[in-house]
Structure 1
Amino acid sequence: MAKDKTTEATDAVTVVVLKGKSVRHDGEKYTQNTRIELSPNDAKRLIASGFVKTLDSVKEEMEAASGQEVSITKADGQAMITSDAPSVVKSESGEA
């Protein structure tokens, strides 16, 4: 679960450290998926550097991403698996 770091600033921006990144702020190290409260200037600089995203933008991305659905049907001893995602399995000829 993500840690929270708050500052005294009332106009602080909540950001999330991106996957594979770490941020050292006020002497503390924050690793991926950690939430930090930063000043607007610090948040803007780290967003531009690609180290963090605002918590609101992360939430919006999660809501926009749709989950993949899979159905399994069993008939006559045979199981059939269908998915709503495009096929990524290729035939021997290389076609999907």
Structure 2
Amino acid sequence: MNLPIVYHQDYVAPLPDGHRFPMPKFGKLYQLLLQEGIATPQQFHTPDRPPLDWLHLVHTPDYVQAYCQGTLEPKAVRRIGLPWSPALVKRTCTAVG
């Protein structure tokens, strides 16, 4: 039985040099699983970006809009712990798809 694995290239978003979050690990693990023959390309499921309605189940529409547009208050961005960027929005939203 082949275990399905969820992966999307958008899981890796650029971060500033020296940032403590190991963002490249997602892409490296994907490559390692393929290179070592642990997984086959057919085992990978590529998720779609979820509809906004899904995000509104766990966050207010105002928060989702501010996050997606990069207009969150600085305090909220600090709480997230990752610098805002359009690529990070794609990564975050795709991760829940």
TM-score by length of 1: 0.22
Greater share of helix residues, 1 or 2? 2
Higher relative contact order (CA 8 A, sep 6+): 2
| Structure showing greater Rg | 1
